[in-house]
Structure 1
Amino acid sequence: MTPFLGVVFGLTLYNGSVLAVFRAGVQALPKGQAEAAYALGMCKTQAMFTILLSQAIRVVLPTIISQMLVLLKDTALGFILTFQELL
């Protein structure tokens, strides 16, 4: 594995796990939001994309922005220090 692929693979795994905050954002919404969408005749996919995700993004936006700043700093560190030097 080249140092570049090691840094990319590591940052992808780390940031992918941290950005699982979307699930927490959807679960933080009141159950009545989903129930209202189902009462309007929406299927689960329509309710998720139309109603729930639009509200969840507002909840998790500060976390996403701060994680993107951390990713920017980590890529600069990965550029200067190679994967082998970190291990």
Structure 2
Amino acid sequence: MYKFIITIELKEGAREKILARAPAVQAATRAQAGCLAYDFFTCTDDPDRLVFVEAWVDEAAHEIHMAQAYTRDFIAFHTPFHRALTFERIIPVA
């Protein structure tokens, strides 16, 4: 399994713009072969911090996702609103 967390620190005022587009991307992503989970959250202590949690059957499935036009378009849309982005690959402990 290929699982990771992406945390995006947004510039002030960008949250609603990104969240308006996120549900369509979420639905398309969840429909993709190899997607096990694709969820996004806002942090209770900082509403300008978004957290995306993704799980894929393998890294190859995620690479196919990254090649999709809707994925590239969404990333291009929200990147200018970032203050910071952290990508963390996670694996089960036991």
| Fold shared, TM-score > 0.5 on shorter chain | no
* Structure with greater strand share of residues: 2
TM-score scaled by length of structure 2 = 0.33
